[in-house]
Amino acid sequence: MNKSKSCMLSGISGLSVNECIRKIQQIEIKTKKLSTGPYAGKHLSIFSGRGIDFTDIREYVPGDDVRSIDWKTTARFQTPYLRLFSEDRDQTFYLLIDRSGSQIFGREKSKDEKMLEISASIIFSSEAHRDATGLCMFTETVEKFIPAGKGRNHSVNLLNAIIKHNPEYPGTDIAQALRYMYNTLKRRSVIIVISDFEGDNFEKELSILSKKHEVYSLTISDMREEILPDIGLIRLQDSETGEIVIADTSDPVFCRNYSEIVLKENQEKEKILRRCNVKTLFIKTEEECESKSRYFFSGKGEVC
């Protein structure tokens, strides 16, 4: 590869294409090592179907297998309910990735760089289990969609798409992306939303999607978004709207108020995700996440 290509910038803030490739190669090695660890083996997932062990019920949605309708519960509530079974089977995964302007933020590592690490780990794990994986990237609109597929070549295509994608718009419309997934995916799938959820009015769409599919959220944040460093006057710019304000980080009252506002916003996001029955993993840009995400997807519950 010539020098111009090796230095070519990727769609991941601050990284060249080669740097992204090296990072992905390291993650693949880690993923292979973890595949022999405590969470190795074929996954056990929750799907509606003719499985072995009955686990739960949920409200029927169009497209579900009518053979799994629980008629007693349906009669009791006067609306169709479905029996859920635990069964060992191949899955279809979709990564729904936020590529808006807020993802370039980060002190030592940007949120979109952390997103690349997480995405690579999930894609390689899916490939190892012979599962199908697809991709959808969005900002103010859905900018890229790749249907689910299997195999090494497909994994490489997904990672290339993430690395080389330069977002067209800075803003976020999570609700539109959720509607797109609901209308596009016909088969029940596992949808992993990777975002900081910096947007409004997406609860209705998320709730509807989570009734049809199994939805997880990986919420990425940076410590500097929560606690400002004491460095005097600084310019704070909203990476999605472009709005700029001058802030005095030496003022303890301002810093305390800022942190309280951010904390309140984060707590509200958590409440929305819980109301929508979305399992959530909270990840900081500076922390290692391979083992943490493995534990999370093994079905142990939320990890903060």
Average pLDDT of the segment spanning 268-280: 92
Residues 223, 224, 229: CA angle, nearest 5 degrees: 120
Average pLDDT of the segment spanning 283-303: 66
Task: Output the CA–CA distances (angstroms, integers) from residue 197 to 2, 52, 63, 212, in the order listed.
Answer: 39, 37, 28, 21
Q: Provide φ and ψ at 273, rounded to 5°.
A: -65, -40
Most confidently modeled range among 44-48, 89-93, 118-122: 118-122
2-40 residue pLDDT tens: 444 456 878 898 789 999 999 999 988 887 766 555 444
Average pLDDT of the segment spanning 242-261: 89
Structure confidence at residue 88 (pLDDT): 44
- Above 50 in pLDDT, residue 227? yes
For domain 3-42+89-300, give its CATH number from 3.40.190.10, 3.40.50.410, 2.60.120.650, 3.30.1370.60. 3.40.50.410
Percent of the chain whose pLDDT exceeds 70? 81
- Above 90 in pLDDT, residue 205? yes
98-115 residue pLDDT tens: 999 888 877 778 889 999
128-178 residue pLDDT tens: 888 899 999 999 999 999 999 999 999 999 999 999 999 999 999 999 999
- Above 80 in pLDDT, residue 46? no
Structure-token pair, residue 303? 């990890």
CB 219 within 8 A of CB 74: no
Q: Provide φ and ψ at 103, rounded to 5°.
A: -75, -15
- Which comes out higher in pLDDT, residue 210 or 62? 210
CB 67 within 8 A of CB 49: no
CA distance 114 to 124: 16
Percent of the chain whose pLDDT exceeds 90? 44
Domain residue extents for the chain: 3-42+89-300, 45-87
pLDDT-derived band at 1 (thresholds 50, 70, 90) equals: very low
65-69, 86-90, 159-163: least confidently modelled range = 86-90
pLDDT-derived band at 238 (thresholds 50, 70, 90) equals: confident
Q: With the C-alpha atoms ordered 227, 257, 13, 158, is the resulting torsion angle positive or negative?
A: positive
DSSP bridge pairs for 217: 193, 280
